[in-house]
Chain A
């Protein structure tokens, strides 16, 4: 009989952001989860892919379309120990976006590295 190898798995959460900001509340809903997990000292990583990469673009102003600018809160990530932030390079290239973002410490990854990093997490939630 094969004994299952029981490792002490750290239950890390990956939040995959796939929608542009302001058009829906998906980004804000994802942010709320990230901050709650952060404040309970649970490891959480953020991933931005597809239209989700628009959430990292500099110089946006939600107030112009009467949406609460939740993107400002991204600046607080370090206080919640949210340090693993990854963005899909292919999604940036497809949208002709530069790899300069409104927060620091964002890592741009190629498709394979992005997928490998994402699937190394215990749980993935997609918004």
Chain B
């Protein structure tokens, strides 16, 4: 039987890392959350989510989304509580956008303050890394 390269890769994905570079008001947040939750439900180990560029805004407690729009923070909170999903925040990208643990203290507590070294770590550990 012939197995093509893509099929082999799917078989081998046991660990997944996700990098979020889009802001929470982008609909890609919904796609990312759906993707991660589906992976977790099907038994894939999601070793971490890394927030970079405008993605760091997911961690801000200062962002207000209208109540009739998609609320992403409760979704991250649920995945964090349910699966202990590690949520890493690039602090350099965050501080540029007014999100800080030193001056303003507006980082939601489920997020871990990190740097790009953590992205290297995630990429070397995960079978696959996906960007949203």
Q: Which range holds the interface residue count of chain B?
A: 20 to 34
Say yes or no: A11 contacts B123, CB within 8 Å.
yes
Q: Tell whether B116 is near chain A: CB-to-CB under 8 Å.
A: yes
Q: Is there contact, CB below 8 Å, between A36 and B119?
A: yes
Interface secondary structure of B, over-half rule: helix
Q: Tell me if B117 and A42 are in contact (CB < 8 A).
A: no
- Measured between C-beta atoms, what is the minimum distance from B132 to chain A in Å? 11
B93 at the interface (CB under 8 A from A): yes
Query: Could you say which of A4, A40, A42, A125 contacts B131, with CB atoms under 8 Å apart?
Result: A125
Q: Is the interface of A mostly helix, strand, loop or mixed?
A: mixed
**Contact status B120-A37, CB under 8 Å:** yes
Expressed in whole angstroms, the Cα–Cα distance for A99 and B132 within the complex equals 32
Whether B3 pairs with A40 at a CB distance below 8 angstroms is no
Chain B, Cβ-Cβ closest to A5: B8
Q: Could you pull out 18 A-B pairs where Cβ atoms are within 8 angstroms?
A: A2-B3, A4-B3, A4-B8, A4-B12, A5-B8, A6-B12, A13-B123, A25-B53, A29-B52, A29-B93, A32-B92, A32-B116, A33-B116, A36-B117, A36-B119, A40-B117, A40-B120, A123-B123
Q: A4-B11, A25-B53, A127-B21 are in contact. List 4 more A-B contacts (CB 8 A).
A: A4-B12, A33-B119, A37-B123, A124-B131
